[in-house]
Structure 1
Amino acid sequence: MVYAPIAEKIGKMSTILLALCLFGLGTIFCGIIHIFSWLLVLRFITGMFAAGIMPTTLAQIGDRFEIQRRPEAIAFFMSFSTSGQAMGVVIGGLVAQFFTYRILFLVLGAACIPGILLLIRERRERESLEGAQPTPFLQRYRMLLGNRRSWMIYGLVFCEGLIFYGGFTFLGAYGVSVLHLSYLVIGLLTATYSVGGFVGSRTITSVLKRLGTSMMPAFGALLMIAGFGVIWSWASVITLTMGFIILGFGYSYCHSTLQTFATDLLPNGRATAVSFFAFSLFLGSGLGPVLIGRVF
């Protein structure tokens, strides 16, 4: 929520660059520190810096792509995000098993450098294309909160995060406790979710032409239900793998379409609209594992 007015003030590319620099620096410090309490504080701070990257990038995509091409662009971007999350589980498992977590933090911090250099070059070329003059600060919030469509979209993404991550979070524990798989194998199987997400991002345009944008979130939700149903219908590695792939497709279709809707809520205050969207998703995805964990 803090990054929205910053992005509208100094530009989206500059905001992404600033957040990435601070995240990379904080992550390197996480690899150096040896005291757990300080590590916990640094992880909290780096999480705050990381929160400025994804929503602002989505707002930038909204500025760069017309509404007809935006779902495919957002889905393609999100496929890299989900692939990174899946690879993070795999790499994290390997590093934790054979080395130390400090190496992982140092590598992640250093990995930000190429992105920072690319952003510096892009900012010089693209900052002038940021878009029209933004809507005044207080007026942006009044327009968003007074719009019934905004509440509907934010409510839907909250429910998506609550239900999807509420179940997805426990699939690793399910694989270990029920299927007796190692954490390394679970990490590798989780990577198949990113395969579904990537293929979904490349097929979303053709599916949109058949179903229409209004039906895509429902279709994606049905696929996610089917993915969880496949996993829990029969305890095996095959159904777990199939479920991960189906979940990747469903999440790509549903979430990318909802994000497209969010980027069009307030064209002259897109960073603000997307920041509310991200806040709703994070709130739901944070509460989901807690609530569903209590039920089951």
Structure 2
Amino acid sequence: MSAHLRRLQVTTFVSTLDRFAMPPMLVAIAHDLGASLAEVVQAAGAYFLVYGLSQPLWGIVSDRLGRVRTMRITLLAAGLFALLSAGAWSPLSLALTRGLAGGFFGAAYPATLIYVGDTVAISERQRDIARLMVGVATGTALASVSAGVLADVLSWRVAFVITGVASVTLAAWTLRRLPEPAASARPGSVREAIATVARSRAALLVLLLAFTEGAVLLGGLTLLPPAVESTGATAAVAGTVTAVYGVAVYLGSRLVGRLSATWHPSQLIALGAGSAVVACGLLAISQDPPVAVVVALLLGLAWTSMHSSLQTWATEVLPAARATVVSFFAGSLFVGSALAAVVVADLADAGRFTLIYASYAALAVPLGIGAGLARRRWVRPGGGG
């Protein structure tokens, strides 16, 4: 594996560390701020909403400023707002600071995908995109375990101090040695870039699938810790259960990297969607920690197999507008997640996790069928499937 890919893994690690620090602490934050769980879930939703909405902007900005420069500037700003999140005194101040942190962290992961799309051959692209998930897996596992423990032992605020310092120092410094990829053919203006995407039915379909996937996979994962805590488990236990997801993503990324050499992407999508259906169905039946461990494993497999396939598709569907498609893809994913969090916030506050996860399971069925069939029928520009 190249040094460049390792630096991109560091970027995904730091971004994911911040993104997954909050879910294990939702209950602790609500208690500390004297707020309802619904208010804090909505604050978390603000992070994902701004995270998602900002990503089309960063894709366009990276066409002008460059991939690496965009990552470095936004990671610096994101780290500063993560530090400000540690001083939040109300659900509103938390939503504002987390939303701004999410807006800048939103540039990190899609920029790494665009970088891979710009520099890696199509035949090897899904393998390297799966390898990027090692950073995601490590960040998820570490955030899930440490955030829950910190919330129990010290304070939830410490977690945001750690992610802020990591973003400002580690990622920004590491990226100094990452070379800027050679400029490829790109739309000449923002309007042309968006118009190119809007005219492509395939690109619009990929964005719709990303939106739905965000609601199911990220929405389901965000509520996993409070679902476990609803059974009486501590934040540390709930965080440890969620950390299993990080382990599953790590193992799944290695598996998918190998399967991608022989399996068609539609088969990987089917594998992921099936795993999501079973995972959400199990959690609809029981939210006990042992069941949640199995659910976390299945969600990790769903993410690495279905999501990496859709991500790779996003880098291929319109090569001349790759940055725009990928950034809109990431935006759709997290907007879907944020809206799902807002829709089910009151149900989560009432502890109605059975209904929530039964709905996610039902939504995963048409997602898997539609995405699998569409990817099977799609023909890559210039030939190939």
Fold shared by both chains (TM-score > 0.5):
yes
Q: Does 1:177 align with 2:230?
A: yes
Contact 2:113 2:129 in 1 (8 A): yes
Is contact 1:8–1:269 with CA below 8 Å preserved after alignment?
no
The answer to whether the aligner puts 1:267 opposite 2:323 as a matched pair is no
Select which of 261, 283, 293 maps to 2:335. 283
Q: Counterpart in 1 of 2:112?
A: 57
Residue 256 of structure 1 corresponds to which residue in structure 2? Answer: 308
Work out whether 1:121 is the aligned partner of 2:170: no
Deviations 1:117-148 (A, max 9, x none): 111122xxx21x33314221222212211111
Which residue pairs with 1:202 in the alignment?
254
Question: Aligned in 2, Cα 1:197/1:177: closer, same or farther, shift over 3 Å?
Answer: same
Aligned to 2:77: 22
CA–CA separation in structure 1 for the residues paired with 2:251 and 2:57: 33
1:223-261 deviation digits (Å, cap 9, x = unpaired): 111222344455643332122112101111000110001
Report how far residue 182 of structure 1 moved.
1.2
Q: Deviations over 1:101-126 (max 9, x none)?
A: 3433332222121221111122xxx2
Report percent identity of matched pairs. Answer: 28
Deviations 1:187-225 (A, max 9, x none): 001111111111111011332344311322122111111
Determine the C-alpha separation between the residues in 2 that align with 1:22 and 1:271.
21
Work out whether residues 148 and 239 of structure 2, in 8 Å CA contact, stay in contact via their aligned partners in 1: yes
Q: Does residue 167 in structure 1 map to residue 220 in structure 2?
A: yes
Q: Distance in 1 between matches of 2:110 and 2:88?
A: 32
CA distance in 2, matches of 1:217, 1:9: 33
Q: More deviation in 221-230 or 193-202? A: 221-230
Deviation at 1:263, TM superposition (A): 1.0
Tell me, yes or no, if structure 1 residue 93 matches structure 2 residue 145.
no
Aligned length: 290
- With over 3 angstroms needed to count, the CA separation of the structure-2 counterparts of 1:242 and 1:256, relative to structure 1, is same
One-letter amino acid of the counterpart of residue 156, structure 2: Y
Displacement after TM superposition at 1:39 (Å)? 5.0
Q: TM-score, normalised by structure 2?
A: 0.70
Pick one of 183, 193, 209 that aligns with 1:156.
209
Which of 245-254 and 71-80 deviates more?
A: 71-80
**What is the identity, as a one-letter code, of the residue corresponding to 1:270?**
R
Return the letter of the residue paired with 1:218: A
The answer to whether the 8 A contact 2:130-2:253 is kept is: yes
Does the CA contact (< 8 Å) of 1:166 and 1:290 recur in 2? Answer: no
In the superposition, the TM-score normalised over structure 1's length comes to 0.89
What SS does the aligned partner of 2:265 have? coil
The gaps in structure 1 that reach 5 residues or longer are none
Q: Contact 1:166/1:292 (CA < 8 Å) preserved in 2?
A: no
- Kept after mapping to 2: 8 A contact 1:8/1:271: yes
Could you tell me how far 1:38 is from its partner in structure 2? Answer: 4.9
